[in-house]
A and B are shown apart, each in its own frame.
Chain A
Amino acid sequence: MDPVERDARLLDPLRGDEPHGPGRVDLARAIRAGRRRRRTRRAATIAAAAAATLAVFVPTTILAHLARSPAEPAAPLSTPAARLQEGGFDVMTRAFVVGSAGGFTPDRYETGRHRQVIELRSADPARRAGAVITMYAPGRYPAPPRTDPAPSVGDRPAYWLPGGTGAVIAWEWAPGAWGTVALTGPGVTDRAVAQRVAQSVLPQASRPVAVPFTVGPGVLGGRYRVVGVSGSYPGQGVPERTSLVYGTRDPSGPSADADRVEVGVLRPRPAATPGARIGGVPAAVSRDEIVLLPPGGAYAIFARAAREDTMRALVQAVTVTP
């Protein structure tokens, strides 16, 4: 006999040994306790999921805030970034505020979904120099080559860009979003000036653009839509100029698209000589611009487009709001 089998016989006296009586096992009690335990487990699972969610999102939010804080010290800085989550800038708001810097002062601001352009003129009227600031929405401008680092702009990384007639600087104004400053005109190659101009650009809270006129519907057809609002910075000898920019797609760079159409008003009216009448109203007509000069008005209506009939239709469709 196998030793194990032989030893197993030691337990033979216990074979058939049964618990006596009905016992105290209570099925109803097991069901009640089981239900209670299931409810507790479900609540614990929900609580754990909530805790896990908080554990992930709260530190992420705090870290993101801490990481952003040094580079974007002012409260308005987060606002454009928040708007950008929706796919770009708001066409009807200016996302940045620009100050005078490096001998330049802001001249014109044009909004856009993918980019916003600010043109600057020299503070010295005798000097034919200017600068163009182009602020891109995230993903709308490729990260520049990091071969020529520039001094940081608002504690954000910056690089000098090759090419161009003047100094060009690019900086990452928000994560994944770049802006550029290009100096134009003769003798503007001073990199420090470009860097100072870049320093003067600050993201701001949503600031809607006021458009003091309306354009009648159906003038341009369904393909065209408002892709930007252009406005001047009025100053001494500089008229107030506000216009709506139409296009079939959102501009992606500082230069104008081929199908760009612009209509707006000027105050005070320019000293143009009317050579034609449109709808009985005196107008100055050139190849790429029509300026309508309503009699007795303190303003002029202008339109720019590739086709003259389009410009004629547009200037007649404008109603200036008081």
Chain B
Amino acid sequence: MSPDDERDYVAYVTARLPSLRRLAYNLCRDEHRADDLVQNTITRLYVHWTRSREANDLHRYVDKMLVRCFLNDQRLGWWTRVRLTARPAELPVAGADLETRAVVQAALALVPPRQRAVLVLRFLCDLPVTEIAELLGCSEGNVKSQTARGLARLRELLGRGANRLEEEEVARYGSR
């Protein structure tokens, strides 16, 4: 890679790093794994930088790389995972409703990876169905069905926690 290309790469990645970490964190719900995911993604981006920068929408292209990395990582077996010998340090979490967030976070982590990716991209990254379909390389209908199944699974996992969220929703928007 030429020095000019490398400069462009550094500038781009530096600017995109926060959003990439946020997307990775939403997908993994684990800061360490999210960082590994971003690290892998920007390494792959370096290898394919010359081709990648010619993409029509570089942001979407890199997001797609990250989602692909995430899904590929999920397909790998347990032998590829690093088993830590000690628990990561507990970090203070900002926000008021810590309990609800912890419950939803735990439930989302149990949703199958592809459905989780669809939910995160659609409801946390606010991407339209069309873009998600492009990002995941599938049809819009597939995105919708994955969304429905993911939400059903999430509702099932949340159980009582979900019912509480629903009550809050009714209180806010009135009767359904």
Contact = CB atoms under 8 A, between A and B. Distances in A.
Given A30-B43, A31-B6, A37-B43, A17 B148 contact: no
B22 A34 contact: no
Interface in B109-164: 119, 122-124, 147-148, 151-152, 154-155, 158, 162
A9 to B, nearest CB: 6
Contacts of B44: 34
Count chain B CB atoms within 10 A of each CB in A17, A20, A41 and give the residue with the most.
A17
A21 B94 CA distance: 12
Contact of B13 (A19, A23, A27): A27
Contact of B10 (A10, A15, A27, A33): A27
Interface in B1-38: 1, 6, 9-10, 13-14, 17, 21-22, 24-26, 31-32, 34-35, 38
A10 B162 contact: yes
Contact of B43 (A10, A14, A19, A34): A34
Contacts of B101: 13-14, 17
Given A8-B151, A17-B26, A37-B47, A27 B14 contact: yes
Contacts of A19: 21-22, 24-25, 31, 34-35
A83 B93 CA distance: 83
Contacts of B42: 25, 27, 30
Interface in A1-60: 1, 4, 6-21, 23-27, 29-31, 33-35, 37-38, 41
Contacts, number: 112
Contacts of B171: none
A25 B46 contact: no
Contact of A13 (B6, B22, B91, B97): B97
Nearest to A27: B13
Interface string A119-153: 00000000000000000000000000000000000
B6 to A, nearest CB: 7
B67 interface: no
Given A10-B155, A17-B25, A30-B42, A38 B31 contact: no
Nearest to A7: B151
Contact of B46 (A6, A9, A15, A30): A30
B43 A7 contact: no
Given A18-B25, A19-B22, A29 B122 contact: no
A8 B124 CA distance: 9
Nearest to B25: A19
A48 B146 CA distance: 40
Q: Chain A, interface size: which category?
A: 20 to 34
Nearest to B14: A27
B69 interface: no
Contacts of B1: 35, 38
B65 interface: no
Interface of B is mostly: helix
B176 interface: yes
B123 A11 contact: yes
Given A23-B21, A27-B10, A9 B39 contact: no
B35 A24 contact: yes
B74 interface: no
Q: Which are the 7 A-B pairs with shortest beta-carbon distances?
A: A34-B46, A7-B151, A19-B25, A30-B42, A8-B123, A13-B101, A30-B43
25 contacts: A1-B176, A8-B122, A8-B151, A9-B165, A10-B151, A10-B162, A11-B104, A13-B104, A15-B124, A17-B105, A18-B25, A19-B24, A19-B35, A20-B92, A23-B21, A23-B38, A25-B42, A27-B13, A27-B42, A29-B39, A30-B42, A31-B46, A34-B46, A37-B47, A41-B47
Interface of B: 1, 6, 9-10, 13-14, 17, 21-22, 24-26, 31-32, 34-35, 38-39, 42-47, 49, 91-93, 95, 97, 100-101, 104-105, 108, 119, 122-124, 147-148, 151-152, 154-155, 158, 162, 165, 169, 173, 176
